[in-house]
């Protein structure tokens, strides 16, 4: 029987700042007092972004730059100004890696259109042989009895054909060389639907994340990608609240920023 699945999001990596090296740098430029604010507030990602921003203007504290006589000490206000002014380059320093599980190739075909500021590694169906067709269906499709039954039959036929081909090619027999398994598996994937569930490692910096969250949770975006990026947006709101402070989540799951040019 077809196996129905739900997309899942796992945050598996994020910035880790070497604060000893930050302190060593600040000692050289005379901004040691800024370290006190890092130990008290924020996350590594937000600290990294703020470090980049303050480095640009040498604004760790007043007096380091003769052109700067006053610096923002309130963290939320500091990041609000970065977002408002569109100082997006400093936001690119913080990268987050998400393992996206049970997402379809419909989803991945759309996601890979976002290339700037991203790194992508996807499960290879040339190497990974299918033994079933894991599949996500939106609830409205499940609630349509005729559509649901017809879809089940199609998926069952596709699964049956995958198993038949594996037996026909004798892929599980002893001594079958890997290069032959790879070639046959590559052929077999041609009979898998775009909706088959797969896994993806997706890394993006905060500047890219803000953009993709906005466009892929928009009301007109594809349903599955809206579901996934709603979850990613909630995670980012928790991890870097000051860098997501201008986003508002609508009741329909759309995330709208006050400042788009970042």
Nearest to 207 by CA among 100, 95, 81: 95
Note down the domain range covering 65.
Answer: 15-92
Counted domains in the chain = 2
What stretches of the chain adopt beta strand conformation (E)? Answer: 8-13, 95-104, 118-122, 197-205, 247-249, 255-257
Residue 189 CB coordination number (10 Å): 17
Distance separating alpha carbons of residues 262 and 257, to the nearest angstrom: 10
* Residue 4 forms part of a structural domain: no
* Residue 238 forms part of a structural domain: no
Q: At what angle do helices 178-188 and 145-168 cross, to 10 degrees?
A: 150
Residues 20 and 78 in one domain: yes
With a cut of 70, say whether residue 159 has pLDDT above it: yes
* Residue 249 forms part of a structural domain: no
Residues 82 and 134 in one domain: no
Residues 36 and 79 in one domain: yes
- Read off the tokens for 35: 């370290």
Distance separating alpha carbons of residues 12 and 7, to the nearest angstrom: 16
- Read off the tokens for 233: 């947006």
Residues 21 and 84 in one domain: yes
- pLDDT tens profile 87-140: 889 999 999 999 999 999 999 999 999 988 999 999 999 999 999 999 999 999
> Which pLDDT belongs to residue 88?
86
Residues 20 and 88 in one domain: yes
Residues 130 and 88 in one domain: no
* Residue 233 forms part of a structural domain: no
* Residue 75 forms part of a structural domain: yes
Return the DSSP state at 74: -
Please, are residues 136 and 101 in contact by the beta-carbon 8 Å criterion? no
End of a domain among 67, 92, 117? 92
Bridge partner residues of 127 (DSSP):
none
Tokens 């990613």 belong to which residue? 232
- Read off the tokens for 249: 């989540």
Report residue 11 CA to chain centroid gap: 8
- pLDDT tens profile 60-99: 999 899 998 889 989 999 999 999 988 889 999 999 999 9
Distance separating alpha carbons of residues 104 and 123, to the nearest angstrom: 11
End of a domain among 170, 191, 212? 191
* Residue 239 forms part of a structural domain: no
Residue 62 CB coordination number (10 Å): 10
Residues 134 and 68 in one domain: no
Residues 24 and 82 in one domain: yes
* Residue 185 forms part of a structural domain: yes
End of a domain among 42, 69, 92? 92
State the average pLDDT for the chain. 94
* Residue 39 forms part of a structural domain: yes
């Amino acid at each position: 029987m077809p196996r129905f699945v739900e997309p899942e999001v796992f945050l598996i990596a994020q910035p880790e700042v070497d604060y000893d090296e930050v302190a060593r740098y600040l000692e050289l430029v005379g901004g040691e007092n800024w370290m006190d604010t890092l130990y008290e507030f924020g996350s590594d990602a937000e600290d990294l972004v703020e470090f980049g921003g303050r480095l640009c203007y040498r604004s760790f504290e007043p007096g380091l730059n003769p052109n700067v006589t006053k610096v923002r000490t309130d963290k939320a206000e500091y990041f609000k100004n970065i977002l408002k002014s569109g100082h997006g380059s400093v936001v690119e320093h913080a990268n987050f890696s998400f393992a996206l599980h049970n997402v379809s190739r419909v989803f991945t075909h759309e996601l890979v259109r976002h290339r700037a500021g991203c790194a992508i590694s996807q499960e290879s169906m040339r190497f990974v042989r299918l033994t079933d067709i894991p599949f996500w269906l939106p609830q409205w499709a499940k609630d349509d009895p005729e559509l649901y039954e017809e879809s089940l039959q199609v998926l069952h036929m596709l699964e049956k054909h995958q198993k038949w081909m594996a037996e026909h090619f004798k892929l599980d027999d002893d001594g079958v060389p890997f290069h032959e398994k790879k070639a046959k598996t590559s052929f077999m994937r041609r009979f898998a639907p775009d909706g088959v569930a797969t896994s993806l490692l997706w890394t993006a910096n905060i500047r890219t994340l803000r953009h993709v969250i906005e466009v892929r949770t928009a009301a007109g975006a594809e349903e599955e990608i809206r579901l996934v990026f709603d979850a990613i947006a909630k995670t980012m709101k928790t991890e870097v609240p000051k860098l997501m402070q201008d986003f508002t989540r609508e009741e329909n799951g759309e995330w709208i920023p006050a400042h788009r040019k970042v």
